[in-house]
Structure 1
Amino acid sequence: MKTLLALNTDLSALPSTDGQAPEWIELIPAGPAVTGRDGRTWLFDELAQQLVLAAFTARAIDMVIDWEHATEVVAPQGMPAPAAAWIDKLEIRADALWGHVSWTPRAGEQVAAREYRFVSPVFDYDDEYRRILRMVSAGLTNKPNLVLTALNHEQQETHNVAISPALAALLGLDATATDDQAVAAVTQLKATATARNNEQPSLDKFVPRGDYEQVVLRATNAEQALATRKAEEHKSVVDSEIDAALKAGKITPATVDYHRASCSEQAGLDRFRDFVKAAPVVADASSLGQRQPEGTSTALNAEQQAVCAQFGLDPADFAKTLKSEG
């Protein structure tokens, strides 16, 4: 009975407000197997849910609810098939398909008065899996057997209908692709995704995260150590070049800091070397060598040297004593 009412939803059993027709109705019961009262079965699994919602969105037009499936039965013969309501939104709730309904005044009154109690869906499905592919319409009815007959009629018309261009583009198919091809494409996509998720990484191409981070740390430390050593070696070379330039009188002590800053990079050091080669002497070359500046000499005259010899004094200590007293 649950399946019977699901395929032929009892509108009077659905929630309503102040005796009004319900805003949401169940169109397809929860699957994956959906069985009719005559024993026929359709598939409404997760893939079917996605296809039905995608087809409704791509169609971009409200789905009609009529009386006694007039849209599918009498409209093709040129007879009137007025709308009883329009479904403007579909949702999956607990694996069942629900539709949001905007009733016409006459149909809303009939449903509220229980003049019509059931609504039955019309849908396309594929021959191989009997998977529901898209919603076509729905009809108000009080005759469950007529509903099943109407469903049979719709399904037998064609199953290889072309899908929407938007859905075909998303699946990488031609605009003329059929629903069967769309089902096959989606099935393949799911199978590929599942296979990739289950793949084990190859150890000749991937390493554990901890090992990778350790290698990166070691490489970073090595780079930092190399950079420090190169900086120290460069500084030593710069100091040597500047000292040589000072001794040659090519630069003055006042410009040492400037030239050292200019030589912070190798290119600057190369320019400094070229400058020193071409620069004239601008200061007297340093000739101090190991000599001490004037006033610090330890030389003694002959008389002072004689005193040191007579009393056994160290000439250097005696010179320091004379300097401190003088």
Structure 2
Amino acid sequence: MASTTKRIPMTSLTETVVCSALTMVLPTDGKAPEWVQLLPAGSVQPNDGRPGWSLKDAGAVIVASMTAAPRGLLAIDYDHAADIAVPKGGTAPAAGWITGLEGRNDGIWAKVDWTVPGARAIASKEYRFLSPSFLHTPDRVITRIIGAGLTNRPALTMLPALASSQGDTMNPTLLAVLEALGLPGDADQTTVLATITKLKGGTSTATAAAIPDPALYVPRTLYDQASVALASMRSNLSDEQAVAKVDAAICAGKMTPAQRDWGLALCRQNPNSFDTFTNVAPAVFANLSRDLVPGFTPVEHAASGRLTADQLALCTSMNLDPAEFAKNL
């Protein structure tokens, strides 16, 4: 059995569809009746063990039913196909169309415009009963008629009304939502909305907590830019230090000017290895350095002979006079 849902103000969250709850025996005189009874007045009790329903305000039910009816028509199908087969991908051809509803002392009656196959099914006694589909509140008050179906499985024999025993159920999607919220199937609208509001509040709090503190974090683009700039600065600084160390080693006579490119490559790749080399290498090229290195004087040579390669590199990088620097050691 299929079902539909819609909100009802105040009293409950949904209306539930019942199909095949009541039965009216169709005439057997070979004619499809123009008027058929859909609902009895007052209390409605099926004989299949389900709780009954009540028709408290026939006028309100008629107004609600026809207002919601597409183009003022409610379909009568076969075996409640619109409620059962259509949700599963099936079809629901009409056996007739309800064009009007009327409240009488004994309940609600419908005026029907039968299709040729529908009239033939009744005249040939292929179908003997008519069953309405209607909506009701959780306290089982009938609120709206949504159609009817020809059927041969009556569930109510208290009236000249028919119903097959399909039962009633809540919309399965809504039932799944209530289950996901941890609520019972009969939860009212207030409870459901309160639960959803609470969950939304928790989500907002969690989302706010997930926003990073701008005082502790920076955007990734800024971080990448800063990393590139820092790497460039370090590269430039390392290159300047390598040049200073190599030139200082040449000035100290540890290397010849012809070895400058080799010294730069070694110092840039492995500064510690270069330092080890300059620390143990004798100043055998001091005179050559004095002649080939511009601005190199004997005083500088004397001073440089007493300075280590690192000290000479420091003097070069800071534009210090090696001799003056040596005086302060």
Same fold (TM over 0.5): no
Highest RCO, 1 vs 2 (Cα 8 Å, sep ≥ 6)? 2
> Structure 1 or 2: larger helix share?
1
TM-score (norm 1): 0.41
TM-score (norm 2): 0.41
